[in-house]
């Protein structure tokens, strides 16, 4: 139960960090290009790669704290970091086809689903 509470609380904090940082960066960049989201996603990928390697090697921490940070905090900060880390794990395991398939499907299906969702909303509620 402690594990779930920690993931829940850390996830909320990650969402707030994402909202604040992305908004702050977006104010300084081009308002058309999503620079805030890009920076958050790249920082999340950097953080999950660094911390996951640290927590499974030189610095061992309790499982519930590792999950709270990696799944909760960084998952709330950006799910792109999890996608990137899982793809890196597939490649380091020699599963190059699955890594490529993950990239292809995640991008194609994600973009397709976003487009379909926007079309459905316009169809149902008009604009």
Mean pLDDT of 8-29: 93
Q: Quick one: residue 89, left, alpha or beta (phi over 0 = left, psi -120 to 50 = alpha)?
A: alpha
pLDDT in tens, 48-97: 889 988 888 788 899 999 999 999 999 999 878 888 988 998 999 999 99
Instruction: Give the largest Cα separation in the chain, rounded.
Output: 55
Residue 31 has φ and ψ, to the nearest 5°, of -70, -20
């Amino acid at each position: 139960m402690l594990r779930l509470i920690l993931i829940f609380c850390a996830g909320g904090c990650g969402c707030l960090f994402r909202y604040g940082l992305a908004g702050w960066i977006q104010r300084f960049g081009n308002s058309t290009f999503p620079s805030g989201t890009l920076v958050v996603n790249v920082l999340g990928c950097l953080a999950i790669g660094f911390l996951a390697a640290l927590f499974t090697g030189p610095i061992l921490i309790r499982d519930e704290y590792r999950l709270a940070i990696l799944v909760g905090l960084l998952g709330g900060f950006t799910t792109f970091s999890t996608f990137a880390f899982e793809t890196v794990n597939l490649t380091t395991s020699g599963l190059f086809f699955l890594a490529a398939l993950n990239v292809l499907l995640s991008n194609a299906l994600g973009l397709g689903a976003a487009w379909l969702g926007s079309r459905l909303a316009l169809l149902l509620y008009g604009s």
